Amino acid sequence: MERIKDALAYFQENNPQDIEFSRLTSLYSIGLGSLEREFDGLLRQTFRPIDDATLIRLMDQKVSDKESGDGSLTEDTEQIEDIPNNMLNSLRFLAKWMSENQSFVNKPQGISQGCLTKYCECRRELIRLNLVRNQDFCRQTYVVALNVNAVRLINEAETDELDSEHYAIALGVLVKLMQNECILLDRLQLTASPQDSQVLLFNIFKNGSSDILTEGTTLTRLMHRAQGRAESHMVMSLLVVLKKFFQISDDLVSVLQGVDNVLIDFNQLVLRLLSQSKITLETYVQFLQQVTEKSSSNSNIVPEDGTIHELTTNVINAIFALMTNLERKSEVYSEEIRRMIFQMNNIQYILKSIYKTNIHRYLLSQDREAVAKITSILDERKLFYTRCCADILHLRPFPESCGSSSIRRRRASQFGSVLLASVLSPNLNTNHHKHSITNNEQSQDTVDEHLTKIDQKERSFLKSLWNDFNNGLSTLTKQHHLISIPDRELKNSLEHQLVRDLVALYRGFWEKSMSIAFTTNRDKYIKLSVEEFEIRIRHLFNGTSTNSTRQ
């Protein structure tokens, strides 16, 4: 291209009418088109959607204190994308070369604007993809903590969710993406002046910001509908969004400096949110004043359109939020035992309260399986609790028969592998049945003599299993000293289930171990009989609280 350019310069100066000049001009235009396509390919190779970890970090990132600065872009502002300098240098070189060497084409600004257009399209699409992925992550990780967004499904065709938390997260992510674009454009230096940079940024920002502005307008429209249904508490959704705007205001104004059209649209949205929040709060204050003035006849304060009362919505939302968050809140406990006990205590309390207050009648009128679903959750937690106790004791149900391979037996069941392998060991004396056994003492001696010939490795393994069991029983006892089960019915149910399941496992383990002479000091490993183990299991609940459930 440099040689063609020099030849064009020569003909243009000495013989512009020569046919060679026309041929070189066409060839030069074709070369510039190829470079433009190369620039487009390099864009797609260089810029990709940000990775999941970075996007999640942006979603969870806390907004810095407003008083700590003016929100302007500084050297400390984080660049989201880690792009190698050599890739940026290549893009910068191609764009600059085509901008400086376009004097021989018919359209002086064609090639330069083509590069900027392709850059805008690429970056604009990346912002859109990142915002869409942000929404997907919000939906996947959404757990109702304080369900200020929940609405009553009175008319599903008219009612949507006020996803204010999701919207606030998207606002923060958008500002970070905008800041990243400013930093990247400054590094690339594709524009010749600040005014050109502002135009370029407007073209990059307009689609992503337009989607966010449309969602904000939808929030105000939904709030207006909620106000008409006397759901004034829904104003919390708008306050969440306004708080987010307050937190990001400095960054937003800074990043949109010079991009006046987008900034004006955001200002208008904030004004609409403030206006709708003011109207809703005034309506809510009037509602509260009516409650105070008509306390003796507050039953008359109901929605004008005869729909579901606000108190009903709040109660159901609270129950739903509690049920949804039990498992998450239980993660505070480090031991699995206490996690299960926490969940079962709360679910049992919910069930008892539902029956005590006759709420179950209303639930069953809507869904005949409503109470059964909650009960099934409790039953499932009981199974998890029993399995967790068995894990601590290293007790597992083992099959009655296994394959001939000791390795497969060991993988299928730790206990079954050792116990059955001891019976099926090829080292056993296959002729022991030929001996005549005249009394119990002689029989026991013969069995002991026979079983001492089992594999040393399996004897060691059986000893380690009993050591694990004894240590596990000590751990299980200590953990149960730290728990409380206020409801006596739940406590008795758990005790019965543990005795039923664990004692059966222990009996099989104990009986088969007693038939194997794996040690000369049996009491060192087998410390409890089956009856003593059952007593220990029942004693696990003696130290737990059995006070009446809190009302």
pLDDT at position 299 is 53
Using alpha carbons, list the distances in angstroms from residue 324 to 14, 147, 160, 219, 318: 83, 11, 20, 25, 10
Q: What is the pLDDT of residues 151-165, one digit of tens each?
A: 333 333 333 445 678
Percent of the chain with pLDDT over 90: 13
Interval 298-352: pLDDT, tens: 555 666 666 666 666 666 666 666 766 777 778 888 888 888 999 899 888 888 8
Statement: residue 400 has pLDDT above 80: no
CA dist 215 and 534 (Å) reads 62
Tell me which residue has tokens 């149960």.
Answer: 480
Q: How far apart are CA 255 and CA 127, in angstroms?
A: 15
The answer to whether 489 and 344 are in contact (CB under 8 A) is no
What's the CA gap between 364 and 467, in Å, rounded?
51
Question: What is the Cα gyration radius of the chain?
Answer: 37
Whether residue 49 contacts residue 126, with contact meaning beta carbons closer than 8 Å, is answered with yes
Q: What pLDDT digit, counting tens, does each position of 427-476 carry? A: 333 333 333 333 434 444 444 554 445 678 888 888 899 999 999 999 99
Summarised one tens digit per residue, pLDDT across range 373-388 is: 778 888 888 999 999 9
DSSP-derived 3-state class of residue 231: coil
Delineate the domains of the chain, giving CATH numbers in brackets.
51-284 (1.20.1280.170), 331-551 (1.20.1280.170)
What is the widest separation between alpha-carbon atoms in the chain?
Answer: 129
Confidence tier at 551 by pLDDT (50, 70, 90): very low
188 close to 90: Cβ distance less than 8 angstroms: no
Task: Name the residue among 244, 231, 252 with its Cα closest to residue 307.
Answer: 231
